[in-house]
Amino acid sequence: MMAGADETAAPLASALVRAGWPGRARRIALSNGPAPGSVIAFLDRRAFLATLGDGLLATPLAAEAQPGGKVSRVGVLSVEAAPFTEAGVAAPFLAALRDLGWIASQNIVFEARYAAGQPDRLPALAADLVRLKVDVIVTFLNQETLAAKRATASIPIVMFLGIYPVQAGLVASLARPGGNVTGTSVGPVTGGKYLELLKEAVPKLTRVATLWDPTFPGFADTATQGELDVEARKLGLTLASIEVQRPDDIERALARIAKERPGALWVLPIGPLAAGTRQIFDFAAQHRLPTIVPTRYFVEAGGLMSYGYDREHLVKCAASYVDRILKGAKPADLPIEQPTKFELVINLKTAKALGLTIPPSLLQRADQVIE
């Protein structure tokens, strides 16, 4: 149910302040209508989407442009359906843009389209941004980038978290993307690394279940199940691949896990799994299952471990590309930025709740330990 304007205005205003939106007059228009393509201010979604429930928030943010100055318009396309998502990008993104001279609500404004966890809405939302003639479109994962690319061959697209972008057909190559798409990629990390970390955290581990969506753009041409099985056998593990291609597959997948009783979960929170991670982590806690994921946000939200890209570094790289494109650079000439640092994050609170003692040798290698 949609939260009322009185319930959302105060938290949203606070989020605006935290995200660094300048100016004393922040004009926020709230609409209770759940119309497709609702516009939201592009902020840290953890900070304000939690106030919205499952509803859609429409908040066109008026630009306070300086006289005679051009206001650049940045479209944002997101498939997300809930605050439990890949987040934490807005604050560093806005800060990086400010450092480059772009002041939100003065010389740059954002038009965001939010698909409420329904990927089939992405083409229409992307087409809406094209009709608005935004100067650049910012996307997050492959689904949004593909929708934007299919909607326009001329408006530049900057992706935050491309996953195997060449294999997904987003760019021609990492060095020379070609076309109108550029941005950042999360970088390849072999499945063996996640299995190795799980085995080190749980030395007696023998069976791991993998939750993933094999239809996610880019996965089809990467590591096969056979290759992962080889990596697992080297560690004395048996790997159970559990596919989740639609939101209603999650219940079935969790029922299978409860029946087969693996010793740990490796979750790839993309596609329908992105919106279901809270359900998955609640299930893991109930069944005392250690989990590993590729990004620290999910560990901050209750998972056991993550190993993956430095989120803020990639966000800043993406901001620099938005800056360069708005100043005339062509996305075809901007190489895909990949992470140069990977970080290990461990949640000791979750470990304690699971009755798990993390070996000191693993804790010493962690970039962050949540206590």
Q: Identify whether residues 288 and 323 lie together within a single domain.
A: no
Residue 119 has pLDDT above 60, yes or no: yes
**What share of the chain has pLDDT > 70, as a percent?**
75
Buried residues in 183-212 as b, exposed as e (16+ CB within 10 A):
bbbbbeeebbbbbbbbbbbbeebeebbbbb
Q: Identify whether residues 248 and 216 lie together within a single domain.
A: yes
Residue 92 domain-assigned (yes or no): yes
Q: Identify whether residues 16 and 136 lie together within a single domain.
A: yes
**What share of the chain has pLDDT > 90, as a percent?**
43
What is the average pLDDT score of the chain?
77
Mean of pLDDT values over 127-135: 97
**For residue 69, what pLDDT band results from cuts at 50, 70 and 90?**
confident
* pLDDT reported for residue 189: 62
Q: Identify whether residues 176 and 237 lie together within a single domain.
A: no
**For residue 307, what pLDDT band results from cuts at 50, 70 and 90?**
very high
User: What is the layout of strands, in order, in the sheet containing 136-139?
Assistant: 39-40, 108-114, 72-78, 136-139, 157-162, 181-185
Residue 179 domain-assigned (yes or no): yes
What is the token pair recorded at 323? 């800056």
Residue 115 has pLDDT above 50, yes or no: yes
Q: Identify whether residues 159 and 39 lie together within a single domain.
A: yes
Q: Which of 66-80, 188-202, 353-367 has the highest mean pLDDT?
A: 353-367
Mean of pLDDT values over 248-261: 92
Q: Identify whether residues 202 and 288 lie together within a single domain.
A: yes
Whole-angstrom Cα distance, residue 78 to residue 184? Answer: 16
Mean of pLDDT values over 76-85: 60
**For residue 202, what pLDDT band results from cuts at 50, 70 and 90?**
very high
List C-alpha distances in Å: 95 to 21, 43, 100, 321.
10, 12, 9, 14
**For residue 63, what pLDDT band results from cuts at 50, 70 and 90?**
very low
Q: Which of 59-68, 221-230, 253-262 has the lowest mean pLDDT?
A: 59-68
CATH of the domain at 134: 3.40.50.2300
Q: Identify whether residues 283 and 232 lie together within a single domain.
A: yes
Q: Identify whether residues 28 and 102 lie together within a single domain.
A: yes
Residue 171 domain-assigned (yes or no): yes
* pLDDT reported for residue 248: 84
**For residue 42, what pLDDT band results from cuts at 50, 70 and 90?**
very low
* pLDDT reported for residue 302: 81
Residue 51 domain-assigned (yes or no): yes
Q: Which of 135-139, 263-267, 291-295, 347-351 has the lowest mean pLDDT?
A: 291-295
* pLDDT reported for residue 33: 30
Residue 356 domain-assigned (yes or no): no
Residue 305: count of CB within 10 angstroms of its CB: 27
Q: Which residues contact 290 (CB under 8 A, 6 or more apart)?
A: 198, 201, 202, 263, 264, 265, 284, 304, 305, 351, 354, 356
What is the value of pTM for the model shown? Answer: 0.72
Q: Identify whether residues 118 and 265 lie together within a single domain.
A: no
Residue pair 132/156 in contact by the 8 Å Cβ criterion = no
Residue 274 domain-assigned (yes or no): yes
Residue 12 has pLDDT above 70, yes or no: no
* pLDDT reported for residue 35: 33
Domain end, chosen from 293, 325, 354, is at 293
Residue 361 has pLDDT above 90, yes or no: yes
**Identity of residue 138:** V
Q: Identify whether residues 238 and 114 lie together within a single domain.
A: no
Residue 103 has pLDDT above 50, yes or no: yes
Residue 298 domain-assigned (yes or no): no
Q: Which of 22-26, 176-180, 267-271, 290-294 has the lowest mean pLDDT?
A: 22-26
Mean of pLDDT values over 93-121: 88
Residue 359 domain-assigned (yes or no): no
**Identity of residue 247:** P
Q: Identify whether residues 272 and 284 lie together within a single domain.
A: yes
Higher pLDDT among residues 128 and 250, named by residue? 128
Mean of pLDDT values over 324-337: 96
Domain boundaries, position 213 = 191-293
Q: Identify whether residues 277 and 326 lie together within a single domain.
A: no
Beta bridge mates, 266: 210, 292
Buried residues in 338-357 as b, exposed as e (16+ CB within 10 A):
bbeeebbbbbbebbeebeee
Q: Which residues contact 206 (CB under 8 A, 6 or more apart)?
A: 236, 237, 238, 263
Whole-angstrom Cα distance, residue 246 to residue 227? Answer: 25
Q: Which residues contact 193 (CB under 8 A, 6 or more apart)?
A: 307
**For residue 296, what pLDDT band results from cuts at 50, 70 and 90?**
confident
How many domains is the chain built from?
Answer: 2
Mean of pLDDT values over 187-203: 86
